[in-house]
Chains A and B, each alone.
Chain A
Amino acid sequence: MSDVVLKIRNLQKSFGEHQVLKGIDLEINKGEVLVIIGPSGSGKSTLLRCLNFLEEYDHGEVLFHGRLVGYRKTSHDRMIKDSAKAIADIRKRMGMVFQSFNLFPHMTVLENVIEGPVQVRGISRTDAARNAKILLDRVGLGSKVNEYPSKLSGGQQQRAGIARALAMSPEVMLFDEPTSALDPELVGEVLDVMKSLAAEGMTMIVVTHEMGFARDVADRVVVMDDGSIVEAGSPAEIFSNPAQARTAEFLRRVLH
């Protein structure tokens, strides 16, 4: 079996007249940390959301372990939308962390974390709670299991969001600007959790504006602009010796 977790081929997506993804090709290998950077509106988040089909794409393919995500092909090679069950089956193998956390406000931290395992995976409450407590300890929220999200700081909410995604034992974690909504002093605690995940060998795709994280943690950095990939390479190549003028221009602006 190949080690390719996700393969993206000629991915295109438009919102009305505006084409936000103009043919993206990308592969993510098992255990790899891929960081996507680029100016606002470059299509980074849309690309990430297409991977678990929160966003429907118009052309091209997303393959998860070789399986088409969101669509199935008819005998005439036409793509039709897959069944809700098939889409959900793929989603539960990927974890996602959102910019605005999106915790369930009517549930405690523990209930948030066990919701997926119990309701989707069918794991018993006891087993799910035991595992959730281990995860919450790991993200430093062992003392907050019975709090409601509204009682937590942004950094704590985001760490709970990470624990909720990890509880599904995902094969890949998608991070959609996980620190962009946080006060600057809370960014570090979330990045630390992500770094430890990376160190454990989790396959991660991270859309972020944190250049330090991209430089220190990424195996590969992808630079996007205007719906296309400008260039991709190791952090050293991208940050020290960008091949494209657009990359250099973007880095000059974000790094001052």
Chain B
Amino acid sequence: MGYSWDFQTVWEYRQVFVRGAIITAQLTFWATLIGTSLGLFLGLMRRSDNAALRYPAAIYIESFRSTPILVQLVWIYYSMPILTGLQMGNIMSCAIGLGLHCSAYVAEIFRAGVNSIEKGQWDAAHAIGMRYPKLMLRIILPQAIRRMIPPLINEFATLIKLTSLGSVLAVNELLHEAENLINNTYRPLEIYTAVAIAFAIMIYPFIYASQRLERHWKIRS
């Protein structure tokens, strides 16, 4: 039985894909912003000598890492308005959910990056009388960030893919738009193929850049 592919339909509805891709990009942007800033903060807290900072960070990070993101998203979507009293749009609550999820992983990347710096660097900075904020900003982070960038880009690529879960919350991102289109056109194979290609076009440049950057640093050091 031959299946006759019809990509003409996909092309006719290309605007729908563009519209979805824009929402996907918006979700990614906000989630990245929340994820990295909160993640750096959590990573610092988790490395703290102070147990009152360390334990809450650890509990946060491990709960987000050990539960399914879909459950987290749905939970945040329904509980946020109850807990905060704020009525949020589904795009915003999805971005917040993705951002909170992502921050747990960013915190771990941050921690691993900082821990990878030789103890001698801390000793040398302490020995000249440096204190924590300057020691971090001037000695440890400039070295650690290089080691953090490849895994951070990886996490970013993962995040773009995770935005497709927004479809469950009726966020009109790429996948959700595509599913609506399937209901109208009955061309699931072509449309899912197009969705996959659209994601690949968005994600691959970052993976490529990460590989180039890693090679560049390997040569320099």
Q: Which residues of A contact B (CB under 8 A)?
A: 52, 54, 84-85, 88-89, 91-96, 98, 100-106, 115-116, 119-121, 150, 164-165, 168
Contact = CB atoms under 8 A, between A and B. Distances in A.
B7 interface: no
Interface of B: 118, 120-121, 123-132, 134, 138-139, 142-143, 221
A89 B130 CA distance: 9
A226 to B, nearest CB: 25
A76 B125 CA distance: 33
Given A88-B129, A94-B127, 7 more contacts: A91-B128, A98-B120, A100-B120, A101-B120, A104-B124, A104-B125, A116-B129
Nearest to B129: A92
A52 B143 contact: no
Nearest to A97: B127
7 contacts: A94-B127, A98-B124, A98-B127, A102-B118, A102-B121, A106-B142, A119-B134
A214 B132 CA distance: 36
Contacts of B124: 96, 98, 102-104, 164
Contacts of B127: 52, 54, 91, 94-96, 98, 165
A164 B123 CA distance: 13
Nearest to A49: B123
A104 B123 contact: no
Contacts of A102: 118, 120-121, 123-124
Contacts of B138: 115, 119
Contacts of A106: 142-143
